[in-house]
Structure 1
Amino acid sequence: MNLQELNELDFNNIGGWPTPVKAFIIILLCVGVAVGWYYYNTEEQLLNLETAEKKELSLRAEFERKQAKAVNLEKYKKQLEEMKQSFGAMLRQLPNKTEVADLLVDVSQTGLAAGLEFELFGPQAEVPREFYAELPIQLRVFGNYHELGAFISGLAALPRIVTIHDVSVTPRAEGVLVMTATAKTYRYLEEEAN
């Protein structure tokens, strides 16, 4: 078959074309349909598949994280309950408004019992914080090293929380030390709302 025969093909009589030409046209149409099918249908599905696979990976990772939490849920609940109990115990160590005066007496009595002389015992204004209030007390006491230690130890042994801040110890005379500090106790503020 030559080019002259190709030019003489009759488009009104396709059935009369030579077999190699018909086979070539059929193959060309099949390739065209396949390419068209790919671009109009399959390509979009492949992109959707790729997106779905990525989403599956992220969902699988999220599932594994949540499953790990769910496996430990009972432990977390138990730990939360222990923390609530511990927090409640700590809150009970904070004085309420009516116990503050007794706590001030306890602090001064602890110092006197340790053998200290008070030059300054000045309760300051309450400083509100997030859920509690600080009650600072300015202290200036005289005594020897062991008396100061007994006083600090006595404060730590009180049933209520008392902390010592800004401690300064200087010598005054032979064997006598001057301790200047701020003792802070704390009060839970939620009681005022009740």
Structure 2
Amino acid sequence: MKLVDFHMDLAELDIAMPGEWPRAVKALCFVLVAATVLALGYLVSIADKRAELLLAEHREDGLHREFAASRAMAAGLAKLRARDAAASAALAEMIERLPLETEVPALVEDITRAAVDNDLAIDRIDLADERQRGFYRELPIAIGVVGDYHDLGAFASVIASLPRLVTMHDFDLAPRSGPRNLSLTIEARTYRYPATHDPSPPAGSEPESTLSPLE
């Protein structure tokens, strides 16, 4: 069929009677319809896949953010645990340095010995009443000694380096006549943790008998 004849056939087609169309025209229409259907189906399928791809990319971004946040949280938790362990170790070490109630007289003896060894005259070394300070107890020790500047400094250094924890407060340094030309009044404080085990029984208490009441 020539192109001119084919064009004339198309011009003479009766749309209301497609059954009478030439075979070539029918074939062409079928191909066009099939191509259109396939193209539309392809576009619809691609649109669905593209939407799924965009959704997957969005989810991936969210998972990346969640992973980064979880990783940062895990790193922070590890640091927090390390700091907590260090603080617990420091607290345990400090508690170990706190004297038991039965060790307080020995601590007073250490302070007295430090004064004597540094050639100081002792005016007073007196225990004051125990004070409750939150979760620990404070035991003040009033100290009054007389000596020269260097001896007083050496005495303070010895007190600060005692094995048991002792802090010094309320310094009062006054001049006086004589070879020991300075008077030092100070309040030393040691501390006791109530949970610290004290093996001695309370004063005035009797040990429990292990004998049966019938014996």
Q: TM-score range by the shorter chain?
A: 0.5 to 0.7
Q: Aligned AA for 2:155?
A: F
The separation in 2 between residues aligned to 1:184 and 1:161, in whole angstroms, is 8
Q: Does 1:162 align with 2:159?
A: no
The separation in 1 between residues aligned to 2:143 and 2:154, in whole angstroms, is 15
Could you say which residue in structure 1 is the equivalent of 2:184? 179
* Alpha-carbon distance, 1:193 to partner: 9.8
TM-score, normalised with respect to structure 2: 0.56
Q: Aligned AA for 1:119?
A: D
Paired residues for 1:41-52 under 5 Å: none
TM superposition outliers: structure 1 runs of 4+ over 6 Å: 63-67
Q: Does structure 1 conserve the Cα–Cα contact (< 8 Å) formed by 2:143 and 2:186?
A: yes
The more displaced of 73-82 and 156-165 is: 73-82
Q: Aligned AA for 2:183?
A: V
**Paired residue for 1:142, among 139, 146, 152?**
146
Paired residues for 1:87-126 under 5 Å: 87-126=91-130
5+ residue gaps, structure 1: 1-62
Q: Aligned AA for 1:178?
A: S
Q: CA RMSD in A?
A: 2.5
The separation in 2 between residues aligned to 1:153 and 1:193, in whole angstroms, is 28
The separation in 1 between residues aligned to 2:108 and 2:142, in whole angstroms, is 11
Q: Does 1:80 align with 2:84?
A: yes
1:126-158 per-residue CA deviation (whole Å, 9 max, x = no partner) reads 111112111111111100001100100000110
Paired residues for 1:48-59 under 5 Å: none
Could you say which residue in structure 2 is the equivalent of 1:19? none
The more displaced of 141-150 and 97-106 is: 97-106
Q: Does structure 1 conserve the Cα–Cα contact (< 8 Å) formed by 2:100 and 2:197?
A: no
Q: Does structure 1 conserve the Cα–Cα contact (< 8 Å) formed by 2:149 and 2:182?
A: yes
SS at the partner of 1:186? strand
Q: Does structure 2 conserve the Cα–Cα contact (< 8 Å) formed by 1:131 and 1:190?
A: no
* Alpha-carbon distance, 1:64 to partner: 8.3
The more displaced of 69-78 and 140-149 is: 69-78
**Paired residue for 1:127, among 104, 126, 131?**
131
Q: Which has the higher helix share?
A: 1
The more displaced of 112-121 and 64-73 is: 64-73
The separation in 1 between residues aligned to 2:82 and 2:137, in whole angstroms, is 30
Structure number with bigger Rg: 2
* Alpha-carbon distance, 1:161 to partner: 1.1
SS at the partner of 1:103? helix
SS at the partner of 1:173? coil
Could you say which residue in structure 1 is the equivalent of 2:195? 190
The separation in 2 between residues aligned to 1:104 and 1:153, in whole angstroms, is 16
Q: Aligned AA for 2:184?
A: M
